[in-house]
Amino acid sequence: ETGVTQTPRHLVMGMTNKKSLKCEQHLGHNAMYWYKQSAKKPLELMFVYNFKEQTENNSVPSRFSPECPNSSHLFLHLHTLQPEDSALYLCASTLGPGEAFFGQGTRLTVV
């Protein structure tokens, strides 16, 4: 266990559905991240939050909407996704520079 918990672990959704991914950490970290991992591609940084403020959005389509209500919780709201959005979505947190702690990921399948 890394101290970063993601739910759900698996999610199957239709293209017209709305769902949310949740990430929480109680490590006292100030920064939280969403990464997307597709087959045979590097991890893609999607969003970064520092002290609840979004500091990076890497040209992510608007069908992905992040929310960070506090330093311990991070959400990724999903709506009208496409099949190519199927991937492993990983949440991570850090305290300053150094080691990132990752959750176990949510395996998302869009049908």
Partner 1 sequence: SQQGEEDPQALSIQEGENATMNCSYKTSINNLQWYRQNSGRGLVHLILIRSNEREKHSGRLRVTLDTSKKSSSLLITASRAADTASYFCATDASGNTPLVFGKGTRLSVIA
CA distance 71 to 93: 10
Positive or negative, the CA dihedral 69, 100, 110, 10 is negative
Q: Which stretch binds partner 1 (CB under 8 A): 13-21, 36-44, 61-69, 71-79?
A: 36-44
Among 87, 92, 108, 110, binds partner 1 (CB under 8 A): 92
In angstroms, give the least distance from the CB of 16 to partner 1: 26
Over the range 38-68, which residues count as b (16 or more CB within 10 Å of their CB) and which as e? Answer: eeeeeeeebbbbeeeeeeeeeebeeebebeb
60 vs 88, which CB is nearer to partner 1?
88
CA distance 24 to 14: 25
Residue 13 is a binding residue for partner 1 (CB under 8 A): no
Residues of this chain, 43-62, that bind partner 1 according to CB under 8 A: 43, 45, 48, 56
Summarize as ranges the residues that interact with partner 1 (CB under 8 A): 2, 4, 6, 31, 33, 35, 40-43, 45, 48, 56, 88, 90, 92, 96-105, 107
